Amino acid sequence: MDDYVVSILSNIGMISFLALSAYLLLLTGEISFGQQAFFAISAYLSGIATAMWGWPLWSGLLLGALAAAAAATVIGVLTLRLRGLYFSIATLAFAEMVRLLFVIFHYQVVIDGEPVGPDGAEGFRDIRWVFENNISVTEYMVIIYTVLVIVLTLFFLLERSRLGSIFRMLGEDTLLTEMQGLNVIRFKVLASGIAGFIAGIGGGFYAHFATYLEPQNFSVMLGVHALVYGLIGGLGTALGPLIGVGLDIGFLEAIRAIQGYRMIVFGGLVAVLLIFMPRGILDEERIHWFRLTWRRWRDAKR
Amino acid sequence: MLSVEGLSHHFDGVEALVDLNLQVAKGDVVGLIGPNGSGKTTLFNVITGIYKPAGGRIRFHDRQISGLKPHEIITLGIARTFQNLRIYKRMTVSDNVWVAQHSLPDVSLKELFFARPDKEREHREEVERLLELVFLAERRDTLAQNLTLQDQRRLELARALARSPELLLLDEPAGGMTPAETEKMAALIRDVAVPGHTCIIIEHKMDMIASLCSRICVLNFGRKIAEGRPDDVLKHPQVLEAYLGHEGMVHA
């Protein structure tokens, strides 16, 4: 595979984590414009762990994702009592705050006579674990997709579990769910924490793929994209956000002919889809239809 | 079982409930009637903790529940339906009942992630039984949003029953129904909701209330204006005035 294709595919894989993260919150009925903050927190922290503290990649990733989950839990406790639009604005404000904190964040050590570490607006260079360990870009892509498949499998299991149905209950009607005797805030905070963890995995991969981070990478546009992926791909299944990512990065960004117009085409696509399919391509109704058809087909075969 | 003592509530200075007293004993079927805006649904919302009362208190089995969080109150054994009909529209009919079952307090943290197959089977059987009761078994795999209003109200009833509540609060269970549908709903409530449950029913349809309830409580502007057996209460002059207006009463 040529490097361009590999980098596009790797991008799809890494952004998929962020899209799944935003999707999980969409399931519980919350629109977060701030998932890129957890992506960023993990990117920086896992980069610090491998490049400055000499940790192996997997433990750096885990640390980053756990820190992102912790941050998301705290933010969840603070903001999830807000309703609807107020929550969305709070997440947006938080994410910008995190980004600006990285602009003034300096933490460097000298390794082999060179300073290494986040240097504010100058960014964080030389997160070289992947190169130092002779992992090719193709191998790295395989690692990303292996973890993505694991996360996706867990996600499907989650959706089938009670917890998953509680998340969907919250997304449909919070008051009614409270009237089923559930502590809704606690479950929303839990969803936020899990979503933070998933975004964190993507962020860790991103840091070691890009080898260079700067605060500008984690602007609001990243979060808006993550959110829209679920909305266009569909809220009926965890495959929805992945379809969204594939459509945007795989299709629009990869086709060089329309590269300059990507955002225009993408914006138009979103507008059209949201008018005709307000809950995305694979929405609950279509997924329900697939399920019924599959069951009928299976029963007929017996 | 339920004891409402001196309960008051107001919205921005508008008195919604004024010094309300109501005693409900185990097995009672109480009808709650009154003109629109008289505070009936507000009373349900205060009982279930959605609103915190401004004054007075509510006890359920000698335990004070006013001031508790909604989910804590519900968990004590209260279930309700809604005047403006709340169901999980994007879930199937059977899932609507199933989710009410599996959020019962005896479900452990571990079971949030890993269902126990034996319990699961038990729950699904119970769901099936409830759907049979409310004549929705044939529609178990339909998305709830595609049901008729009548069926959606039945689904709400099944969902409330799924929690095996001691106290059942039904808020206009025949709201928006034709007379024929109302009669069916009344029969359904008599057959499946009244046996084994203590009920408070809000309804405007007097025939239905009179046939189901052993006692009626009438609210007007947040105050109780009459309480007693249906025959007596429905002839009460203040009740007639509240419903028909002063002139209406003269003609009646």
- Provide the pLDDT for residue A25: 96
> How far apart, in whole angstroms, are the C-alpha atoms of residue B32 and residue B170?
10
Q: Answer yes or no: do B71 and A182 touch at CB < 8 A.
A: yes
- Provide the pLDDT for residue B251: 52
DSSP A198-223: HHHHHHHHHHHHHS-B-GGGG-HHHH
Q: Find the largest Cα–Cα distance for chain B.
A: 66
Closest-approach residue (CA) in chain A for B44: A179
Over residues B238-250, mean pLDDT? 70
Average pLDDT value over all residues in chain B? 90
- Provide the pLDDT for residue B194: 92
What is the least distance, in Å, from the CA of A157 to any CA of chain B?
8
User: What is the share, in percent, of chain B residues with pLDDT greater than 90?
Assistant: 73
> How far apart, in whole angstroms, are the C-alpha atoms of residue A116 and residue A110?
6
Instruction: Indicate which of A27, A180, A283 best probes the interface with B, i.e. most B CBs within 10 Å of its own CB.
Output: A180
User: For residue B174, what are its two tokens?
Assistant: 């025949």
User: For residue B39, what are its two tokens?
Assistant: 């505070």
Reported confidence tier of residue B162, pLDDT bands at 50, 70, 90: very high
> How far apart, in whole angstroms, are the C-alpha atoms of residue A69 and residue A45?
13
- Provide the pLDDT for residue A251: 78
User: Which pairs from A99-103 meet CB under 8 Å and 24+ separation?
Assistant: A99/A36, A99/A37, A99/A40, A99/A215, A99/A216, A99/A218, A99/A219, A100/A215, A102/A40, A102/A44, A102/A215, A102/A218, A103/A215
- Flag whether residue B120 sits within 8 Å of chain A, measured between CB atoms: no
Residue A294 lies in a domain: no
Q: Answer yes or no: do A285 and B114 touch at CB < 8 A.
A: no
- A298 chain-B contacts, CB cut-off 8 A: none
- Provide the pLDDT for residue B252: 46
- B87 chain-A contacts, CB cut-off 8 A: 176
> How far apart, in whole angstroms, are the C-alpha atoms of residue A102 and residue A131?
25
Q: What does the pLDDT profile of chain A (302 residues) look like in tens digits? A: 788 889 999 999 999 999 999 999 999 999 999 999 999 999 999 999 999 999 999 999 999 999 999 999 999 999 988 888 899 999 999 999 999 999 999 999 998 888 899 998 899 998 999 999 999 999 999 999 999 999 999 999 998 888 999 999 999 999 999 999 999 999 999 999 999 999 999 999 999 999 999 999 999 999 999 999 999 999 999 999 999 999 888 877 777 677 778 788 888 888 998 899 999 999 999 999 999 999 999 999 87
Q: Is the pLDDT score of B114 beyond 90?
A: no
What digits encode the pLDDT tens for the residues A232-242? 999 999 999 99
Q: Is the pLDDT score of B191 beyond 90?
A: yes
Reported confidence tier of residue B125, pLDDT bands at 50, 70, 90: very high
What digits encode the pLDDT tens for the residues A113-139? 888 999 988 999 989 999 999 999 999
pTM summary value: 0.92
Reported confidence tier of residue B110, pLDDT bands at 50, 70, 90: confident
> How far apart, in whole angstroms, are the C-alpha atoms of residue B192 and residue B154?
11
How many CA atoms are closer than 13 Å to the CA of B221, on its beta-carbon side? 5
A32: CB partners within 8 A, 6+ apart? A22, A25, A87, A88, A91, A195, A223, A227
B2-11, strands of its sheet edge to edge:
B14-24, B2-11, B55-60, B63-64
- Provide the pLDDT for residue A66: 98
- Flag whether residue A165 sits within 8 Å of chain B, measured between CB atoms: yes
- Provide the pLDDT for residue A200: 98
> How far apart, in whole angstroms, are the C-alpha atoms of residue B206 and residue B180?
14
Dihedral sign for Cα atoms in the order A142, A146, A152, A156: positive
- Of B42, B50, B44, B45, give the one whose Cα is nearest residue B18: B42
Q: How many domains would you assign to chain A?
A: 1
Reported confidence tier of residue B36, pLDDT bands at 50, 70, 90: confident
Q: Answer yes or no: do B114 and A161 touch at CB < 8 A.
A: yes
Q: What is the CATH number of domain B1-77+167-252?
A: 3.40.50.300
Angle (CA) B73 B79 B81, round 5°: 125
B103 closest CB neighbour out of A161, A175, A181: A181
Q: Answer yes or no: do B71 and A181 touch at CB < 8 A.
A: yes
Q: Is the pLDDT score of B52 beyond 80?
A: yes
- Provide the pLDDT for residue A21: 97
B99 closest CB neighbour out of A165, A183, A292: A165
Reported confidence tier of residue B116, pLDDT bands at 50, 70, 90: confident
Give the helix/strand (H/E) hosting A114: strand A114-116
Q: Answer yes or no: do A181 and B92 touch at CB < 8 A.
A: no
Q: Find the largest Cα–Cα distance for chain A.
A: 71
Reported confidence tier of residue B102, pLDDT bands at 50, 70, 90: confident
Q: Answer yes or no: do A183 and B69 touch at CB < 8 A.
A: yes
Residue A80 lies in a domain: yes
B202: CB partners within 8 A, 6+ apart? B31, B32, B33, B40, B41, B44, B83, B170, B171, B172
> How far apart, in whole angstroms, are the C-alpha atoms of residue A22 and residue A167?
13
A178 closest CB neighbour out of B71, B88, B98: B71
Q: Nearest 10 degrees: CA dihedral of B204, B208, B214, B216?
A: 10
Domain hosting A53: range is 3-218
- Flag whether residue A184 sits within 8 Å of chain B, measured between CB atoms: yes
- Of A142, A197, A204, give the one whose Cα is nearest residue A24: A197
- B60 chain-A contacts, CB cut-off 8 A: none
Residue B57: how many other CB atoms lie within 10 Å? 14
In the beta sheet, which residues pair with residue B29?
B199
B74 closest CB neighbour out of A166, A169, A180: A180
Structural domain boundaries of chain B?
Answer: 1-77+167-252, 90-164
